[in-house]
Amino acid sequence: MTKQIIFSFTLLLTLGVFAYTVNRVISFFKFTRPAFPVKDFGKRIKVTLSVAFGQTKIFRKPVLGFLHALVFWGFCVIIFGSIEMVIDGLTGTEKVLKVLGPVYKVLMASGDIFALLVAISIIVFLSRRLFFHIRRFEGIEMKKRSHKDANISLSFILFLMISLMTMNLGYLGYQKVTEGSINGIYPVASILFHLVPGLSAETLKLFYEVSWWAHILLIFFFANYLPYSKHFHVFMSIPNVFLSRLDPLGKLPNMDSITREVKLMLDPNTAFAAVPSDTPVERFGVKDAEDASWKNYFDSLACTECGRCTSVCPANITGKKLSPRKIMMDLRARMKEKGPLMLKNGRDFNDNHSLLRDFISEEELWACTTCNACAKECPININHPTLIIDMRRYLVMEEASAPGELKAVFNNIENNGAPWQYSAEDRLNWAKELEINIR
């Protein structure tokens, strides 16, 4: 009974802290702008099964992709054991899901095997970060805190897997020594049991109890650490893939307000979307975090900081300042900075800082070629160019700020109706001396 009371209190505390964090994150979304409507659920489910659960984009790097997929699939399987532990902790039972019969045996065997595979994968990931210089893990946006956070998160996962394996070893060993009934199949634990013979029933029982508490407490602590770390994608990646922008990558979204004005100019009689006179004037494009769409902000929260986007960016590869990863990290950081102030003082609060220039420079934005290599490579379907284009829109439409070459193009379009510096009457002068045979 004491165990149940302690466990219930711990679970309640964990859920309370997690609920506070989630509510805080959700509250920031109310400051963002609308994005595309979420529809085509059949297509979205198909994309989620392929990209999120199938890990298809990760496999572009076969070896590391396979190891990452093992970690993801391992968590998907191990979560069933975690659910069982919560039920057992609350009710005082042991292996309560054994009523599932053969399915339970498969789940326990899979979890036991995946615990070892995930642990091996995490050791590989930690070794790469600690002992090898991986270029895509570096960059101006990757501070010392980012590297430390990644190592802490990976270490948590490693300890989770070790505690799971030792818990299975203690349970299996105790049941074998006392000739009790073994619920489930534990292949890895069986091997470990034969590697450490001679342990008493009391030792194995203690081993099991300590590992059980260590594992569940690590889960509770890790769940509340994740929202403050780069590994928040553990929660956010699958929803982000489901909410992917389904349009072709090369299609840039238009601004509704501009589209409406153009159509009204073309045909004033069809005021199809008359806007009330008291509607506040919207800012063109994105200057600060609250100007971004909810999907842009969702992308920033889901970003894994893996650097795959930046590693394929032609601008970054050729030495320019643009890093698609930095764009997402900056949006997240700016909302984290300004969000609490807006909650306290309202959406119109101005702290004399902004996402543009204080976090992201004009040079970065104009370096983008909108090739969409970053969006295509991202393993969780983040779309970086949509945010970059919207920030450019603010520069051009609100501040008339653009590189000199673009300003010349804008002037030519305004004066000549075309990007070139020649008037419409002179455009065919280049063809006057050509001898063209028409047959």
| pLDDT at position 419 | 86
| pLDDT at position 262 | 78
| pLDDT at position 323 | 95
- The pLDDT tens digits for 121-179 are 999 999 999 888 888 898 888 888 888 999 999 999 999 999 999 999 999 999 989 98
The CA-CA-CA angle for residues 301, 304, 305, to 5°, reads 105
pLDDT at 278 exceeding the cut of 60: no
| pLDDT at position 280 | 59
- The pLDDT tens digits for 39-93 are 999 999 999 999 999 999 999 889 999 999 999 999 999 999 999 999 999 998 8
| Burial classification of residue 342, based on how many CB atoms lie within 10 Å of its CB (0-12 exposed, 13-18 middle, 19 or more buried) | buried
| pLDDT at position 279 | 53
The model's pTM: 0.87
User: Is residue 438 very low, low, confident or very high in pLDDT (cuts 50, 70, 90)?
Assistant: low
- The pLDDT tens digits for 362-415 are 999 999 999 999 999 999 999 999 999 999 999 999 998 888 888 888 888 888
Mean pLDDT lowest among 152-161, 247-256, 308-317? 247-256
Q: Where do we find the tokens 């992308």? A: 299
| pLDDT at position 439 | 60
156, 222 Cβ separation under 8 angstroms: yes
Query: Domain residue spans in the chain?
Result: 2-30+61-234, 256-422
| pLDDT at position 257 | 76
Q: What is the mean pLDDT of residues 249-263?
A: 82
- Domain range 256-422, its CATH number among 1.10.1740, 1.10.540, 1.20.120, 1.10.1060: 1.10.1060
Q: What is the distance between the alpha carbons of residues 165 and 119, in angstroms, rounded to a whole number?
A: 10
- The pLDDT tens digits for 325-374 are 999 999 999 999 999 999 999 888 999 999 999 999 999 999 999 999 99
What CATH code would you report for 2-30+61-234?
A: 1.20.950
Q: Report the share of the chain in percent with pLDDT over 70.
A: 96
Q: Report the share of the chain in percent with pLDDT over 90.
A: 65
Beta pairing partners, 33? 293
Between 154 and 428, residue with greater pLDDT: 154
Q: What is the mean pLDDT of residues 93-109?
A: 92
Q: What is the mean pLDDT of the chain?
A: 90
